[in-house]
Structure 1
Amino acid sequence: MGDVREAIFGAQDGLVSTLAVVSTVSGATNDRYPVLIAGIAAGLAGIFSMAAGEYLSSKSQREISLAQIGEEREKVARRPQEVQVELAHILEEDGLPSDDALAVAALMGRHREVLLNTKVLRQYGVAVEEASGSPIQGAAVMGAAFALGALAPILPYLILPFGVAVYASVVATAAVLFAIGVVKTRWTHVHPIWSGIEILAIGALAGIVGYFFGSVLPTLLGAPTVGG
């Protein structure tokens, strides 16, 4: 599920942030080249910043999780009964009667890996097998997804006349955003139409705001009109 989260987040961010940039610049100029330069620069910067951010956050989380698992592993090896009591207390908080909670914890205590896995998962929300995941893989997925997402708002400016590309960029981005929302329901089980509309609305808002400021700021700043 980690890679799925990173792929969806990266693609959404690539679409929305790049659309906001190209919409802002296209609102300020009638020339495709400033739009392309701004969009490509924003896309490249986003790829590296998102990948680096994912790598650092995943690496930090992995180090914290491994430290927590190491502490619990040592406790299970040296003081297993203490761990059983702690687990029983957690199970009591979940609603098990005290005697049943102690019995379940004692049963798990006969299988120390099970005891360790359950204690770590219930106390820290970390699965032991997931803590060994590679932060590089997560960073690669995030960066690649961002790059693919950034293509949709940029490509129309490469292949279409400027006046058409402005609208095609929005339509292409909207279509991909809606598709991501629909695909995401495979894991979220939300209604596909509503999920697609939700993500589409966020992207549309970013594009509208970007185009508005791109149209208004040159006037406010006294910038000369750019011909094309």
Structure 2
Amino acid sequence: MSTESADVQVGPHDDEPHDGGFASRLNWLRAAVLGANDGIVSTAGIVVGVSGATSDRTQILVAGVAGLVAGAMSMATGEYVSVSTQRDSERALLRKETRELAEMPEEELVELAEIYAAKGLEPDLALEVARQLTAHDALGAHAEAELGIDPDALTDPWQAAWASMVSFTLGALLPLLTIVLAPPGARLGVTVGAVLVALALTGWASATLGRSPAGRAVVRNVAGGLLAMAVTYGIGSVVGVHL
């Protein structure tokens, strides 16, 4: 063995985790960032829009709280329904696969071997791999190869619902507290500034989690939030004048 090959580190890279739960954790982190981002943008749009119609702190607070609660509940309900539907589909597919493994094990073995052969393994090697994986965990091997499902890591609708609700609420609290606590003369400027900083952070976080360029994500996030606040403030100003 050469010196160079002896120095090669074998195994997962530090920045490329290979444990089975990493993809699931990454999805939850992304969902949390996106939930917080939605909370920031939607609540900022509401309170900035209302502030364009009135300077009354109580009315702005009531509108902001109503938007926060409605948004958080909507996020939680939507996430619960969506993930429950996905989980029901996954369970149905796993039941079907379990039945097929019990009723036609040889056909399933050949099907698994063909999947690995299609990925580039020699037919004999693909069959041997299929045999060993089936002997170790038949359902897990077939579910992963055929369906892309990990039977031990099915999505949890309640966890998704709570995560979305909490992240949305935390994001929404920033513009709500800022516009209520800031002095009347500086209320709008302070709120817009705080929201843009927060959106820059969530844009950077989402890009970092997805290993994509951060600059583009930050600009996109900040521009979208700025546009939302500008539109709602303009509508609020027009409605406030006419009322």
TM-score normalised by structure 2 residue count: 0.80
Q: Residue 30 of structure 2 contacts residue 206 of structure 2 at CA under 8 Å; is this kept in 1?
A: no
For the pair 1:6 / 2:31, whether they are aligned, the reply is yes
Tell me the distance in 2 between the aligned counterparts of 1:142 and 1:130: 19
Q: 1:218 to 1:91 in 2, by over 3 A?
A: farther
- Of the three residues 51, 66, 79, the one matched with 1:54 is 79
The match for 2:165 is 143
The one-character-per-residue Cα deviations of 1:33-56 (angstroms, maximum 9, x if unpaired) are: 222211110001111111111112
SS of 1:110's equivalent? Answer: helix
The match for 2:90 is 65
Tell me the distance in 2 between the aligned counterparts of 1:101 and 1:129: 24
The one-character-per-residue Cα deviations of 1:27-81 (angstroms, maximum 9, x if unpaired) are: 2223232222111100011111111111121122112112211221232233222
Tell me the distance in 1 between the aligned counterparts of 2:141 and 2:68: 42
Q: Structure 1: where are the runs of 5+ without partners? A: none
For the pair 1:125 / 2:144, whether they are aligned, the reply is no
Aligned length: 218
Tell me the distance in 1 between the aligned counterparts of 2:94 and 2:169: 35
- Of the three residues 196, 210, 217, the one matched with 1:188 is 210
For the pair 1:87 / 2:112, whether they are aligned, the reply is yes
Q: 1:105 to 1:34 in 2, by over 3 A?
A: same
State the one-letter code of the partner of 1:130: A
**CA displacement at 1:189 relative to structure 2:** 1.3
Tell me the distance in 2 between the aligned counterparts of 1:79 and 1:163: 75
The match for 2:220 is 198
**CA displacement at 1:182 relative to structure 2:** 2.0
Tell me the distance in 1 between the aligned counterparts of 2:233 and 2:153: 42
For the pair 1:174 / 2:199, whether they are aligned, the reply is no
Bigger CA drift: 205-214 or 83-92? 83-92
**CA displacement at 1:117 relative to structure 2:** 1.9
Tell me the distance in 2 between the aligned counterparts of 1:187 and 1:47: 23
SS of 2:236's equivalent? Answer: helix
Q: Residue 52 of structure 2 contacts residue 240 of structure 2 at CA under 8 Å; is this kept in 1?
A: no
Q: Which contiguous aligned blocks of 4+ residues in structure 1 show a shift greater than 6 angstroms?
A: none
Tell me the distance in 2 between the aligned counterparts of 1:126 and 1:81: 21
Tell me the distance in 2 between the aligned counterparts of 1:90 and 1:187: 31
SS of 1:50's equivalent? Answer: helix
Q: Structure 2: where are the runs of 5+ without partners? A: 1-24
Tell me the distance in 2 between the aligned counterparts of 1:118 and 1:202: 43
**CA displacement at 1:97 relative to structure 2:** 5.1
**Which is bigger in relative contact order (C-alpha 8 A, separation at least 6)?**
1
Tell me the distance in 2 between the aligned counterparts of 1:202 and 1:94: 42
The match for 1:36 is 61
For the pair 1:107 / 2:132, whether they are aligned, the reply is yes
Q: CA RMSD in A?
A: 2.2
TM-score normalised by structure 1 residue count: 0.84
SS of 1:129's equivalent? Answer: coil
- Of the three residues 220, 231, 236, the one matched with 1:209 is 231
